[in-house]
Chain A
Amino acid sequence: MKISEDVVRHVAHLARLAVSEEDVHSLAPQLSNIIEYAEQLQRVDMTGVDPTSHPFPLENVLRSDEPKLGLPREVILANAPDDDGEQIRVPAVLEG
């Protein structure tokens, strides 16, 4: 399946990527090539084949329920791009 430039723009937006028109131009044929290559999987009969999401499924991996301290606030804020000393600051989420 060919991936059109519109699809590239749409999917990029879903992934919260702003791509330049120049990038859209080069990405559309490249992604088409990759997806067309992947289409060979359609040729194989997969009836009744379970999907593998993990090589060795470990089920119900639990840890003991003991409270533990997380990282201190100042340590976390040290990596934050913007903060007010207590919390991470971001642009307004709600309008009005």
Chain B
Amino acid sequence: MKEFPTIKQMLTSMAAGETQPSDWTRQSLTNIQKIDGKIGAFLRVNEEQALIHARQLDEMAVRWRKNLVSPSDSTRDLFGIPYALKDNMCTKGVGTTAASRILENYIPPYSATVAEKLTQANGVMVGKTNLDEFAMGSSTENSAFQKTHNPHHLNRVPGGSSGGSAAAVAAGMVPFALGSDTGGSIRQPAAFCGVIGVKPTYGRVSRFGLIAFASSLDQIGPIARTVEDVALVLRQISGHDPLDSTSAPASTEDFTRSLTGEVKELRIGVVRDMNAEGVNDQVKAAIDKAISVLSDAGAQVVEVTLPHSAYAVASYYLVAPAEASSNLARYDGVRYGRRVEGETLLEMYEKTRSEGFGLEVKRRIIIGTYALSSGYYDAYYKRAQQMRTLIRQDFDDAFQKCDVIAMPTAPSPAFAFGEKSADPLQMYLEDIFTIPANLAGLPGISLPCGVSDEGLPIGLQLLGKAFDESTVLRAAYGYEQLRGFVMPFPHGLEG
């Protein structure tokens, strides 16, 4: 397959009058039709509405072009750009399932703030993507509806939980998609699929209309194929939202301003005490090489320590299920979603939840309920929260010495279907490098830094200070320009 156009290229072409919004939407829908039978990224394709919307934009195109004072103005919004949303973001009138049987027929009466913002930015929503049920998983194998295949290797998982979004972008079906990241669910699938994913600072992007998993950790972010493209999307979706009381007062920024290509003087923190065990050799080599590329260009490499990161997975797998057990109590078969009738109210609750939830969701609800139950609260939940404080302090100390921290996104490239799903703990340990940023609320990005011998993408993760996405993006962009390799496009997907 030939190269996939980026958001920037699409906007430039429309600004020059060479293409129209409906050209891009039609191309996206055609690609989905041709390719998604093999990938399984989409749970729902919004063909008719997307085409109607794109044609409306065609009619606005002349005026849009006239208002552009300079060519760079075309990137002020996402005019006519097709995109996909992970199916845990509510879309008014368009079914939203969180990949769960319990929401199979749910049609939201309102849209998530991110969906509203992308509509205001004149983007065209073409469909909803697959995920692990309620975003609980690292391989998208926990979807109640279908498997999603890694576009680079169809026998491998795309990562998760935003596996559908990452695969859709990697396979060229859309130039960008949104994912949500509770413990790595944007960054890890981005790494597995060879694309770029950003987990913004907690509070940067409104969670209103995001189906809640763990509310103190969940954050929405973009997945795209260039650093510039993720910066363009992040600008549109960021900002305070009165509908989300945890959204930060900070307003959005033009994140492309920091994309200078300059990495001189940038201090890159490298965590020596974290790489020790369980990391694939090829991943290790690719990360070391990426760091030397940055240092050869004048970045300063400094060693930092995150002594408590070894406890991050333990803390996370108490905090996240505890919050989930509370958040998922709302699925009781009363007001919306699936109901399985019973003789009594209690029987209805139990039957509804037992038939509606998959095994991983039940597992986490039970862990969470256990960790919160009286007698165990102090030993588990409270300690997990105290560990969060120590992890946060580790980062505060590390960022005294550096501007960004570099490490792998995942310990290994994409694994095979079924390889880790038999042992839940093994699957949880997959998140070791991504979880600390969620516990501390910090921004992070994953971008391709190499391919394994089997042709599987490897992701470099860069983490930054709270609300300092600009520096993270600056470092990522600098690396992207310098890295000297092109992430190969998946091939053999058509037909």
Q: Shortest CB–CB separation between residue B3 and chain A, in angstroms?
A: 39
Residues of A within 8 A of B317 (CB): 34, 37-38
Interface membership of chain A positions 66-78, coded 1 if the CB is closer than 8 angstroms to chain B and 0 otherwise:
0000010001101
Number of interface residues of B (CB under 8 A): 72
B 155-195 contacts with A by CB, 8 A:
none
Interface membership of chain B positions 445-470, coded 1 if the CB is closer than 8 angstroms to chain A and 0 otherwise:
00000000000000000000010000
Any chain A CB within 8 A of the CB of B369?
yes
B 367-388 contacts with A by CB, 8 A:
367, 369-370, 373, 379-380, 382-388
Given known pairs A51-B385, A81-B339, the reply for A44 and B380 (CB within 8 Å) is: no
In chain A, what residue has the closest Cβ to B313? Answer: A37
Dominant SS among interface residues on chain B: helix
> Which of these, B313, B339, B384, contacts A82 with CB under 8 Å?
B339
In chain B, what residue has the closest Cβ to A74? Answer: B109
Any chain A CB within 8 A of the CB of B315?
yes
Rounded to whole angstroms, the CA-CA distance of A20 and B88 in the bound complex is 28
Any chain A CB within 8 A of the CB of B138?
no
Contact B390 A44 (CB under 8 A): yes
Which of B70-78, B112-120, B293-301, B340-348 sits within the interface? Answer: B340-348
Rounded to whole angstroms, the CA-CA distance of A37 and B438 in the bound complex is 20
Interface membership of chain A positions 39-60, coded 1 if the CB is closer than 8 angstroms to chain B and 0 otherwise:
1111010100111111110100
In chain A, what residue has the closest Cβ to B388? Answer: A52
Residues of B within 8 A of A18 (CB): 350-351, 353-354
> Which of these, A8, A13, A37, contacts B314 with CB under 8 Å?
A37
Contact A50 B386 (CB under 8 A): yes
Any chain A CB within 8 A of the CB of B337?
yes
Rounded to whole angstroms, the CA-CA distance of A19 and B423 in the bound complex is 19
Rounded to whole angstroms, the CA-CA distance of A55 and B336 in the bound complex is 31
Contact A31 B367 (CB under 8 A): yes
Any chain A CB within 8 A of the CB of B349?
yes
Any chain A CB within 8 A of the CB of B325?
yes
Contact B425 A37 (CB under 8 A): yes
In chain B, what residue has the closest Cβ to A3? Answer: B370
Contact B314 A93 (CB under 8 A): no
Contact B387 A31 (CB under 8 A): no
Which of B55-63, B142-150, B327-335 sits within the interface? Answer: B327-335
Contact B344 A55 (CB under 8 A): no
Rounded to whole angstroms, the CA-CA distance of A64 and B216 in the bound complex is 24
Any chain A CB within 8 A of the CB of B37?
no
Given known pairs A17-B354, A38-B317, the reply for A55 and B202 (CB within 8 Å) is: yes
Contact B441 A56 (CB under 8 A): yes
Given known pairs A18-B354, A30-B424, the reply for A55 and B369 (CB within 8 Å) is: no
Any chain A CB within 8 A of the CB of B440?
yes
Q: Shortest CB–CB separation between residue A80 and chain B, in angstroms?
A: 6
A 1-35 contacts with B by CB, 8 A:
3, 7-8, 11-19, 23, 27, 30-31, 33-35
Residues of B within 8 A of A (CB): 106-107, 109-110, 202-203, 216, 242, 245-246, 248, 308, 311, 313-315, 317-318, 325, 329, 332-339, 341-351, 353-354, 357, 359, 362-363, 365-367, 369-370, 373, 379-380, 382-390, 392, 423-425, 428, 439-442, 466
Residues of A within 8 A of B (CB): 3, 7-8, 11-19, 23, 27, 30-31, 33-35, 37-42, 44, 46, 49-56, 58, 61, 63, 71, 75-76, 78-82, 88, 90-93
Q: 30 A-B residue contacts at CB 8 Å?
A: A15-B325, A16-B349, A17-B353, A17-B354, A19-B362, A23-B359, A27-B362, A30-B423, A31-B370, A33-B424, A33-B425, A35-B370, A37-B314, A38-B314, A44-B383, A46-B386, A49-B389, A51-B388, A52-B386, A55-B216, A55-B439, A55-B442, A58-B245, A58-B246, A58-B248, A75-B109, A81-B336, A81-B339, A82-B339, A92-B345
* In the complex, the 6 A-B pairs of residues with the closest C-beta atoms, listed nearest first: A55-B441, A51-B385, A81-B339, A79-B336, A52-B388, A18-B350
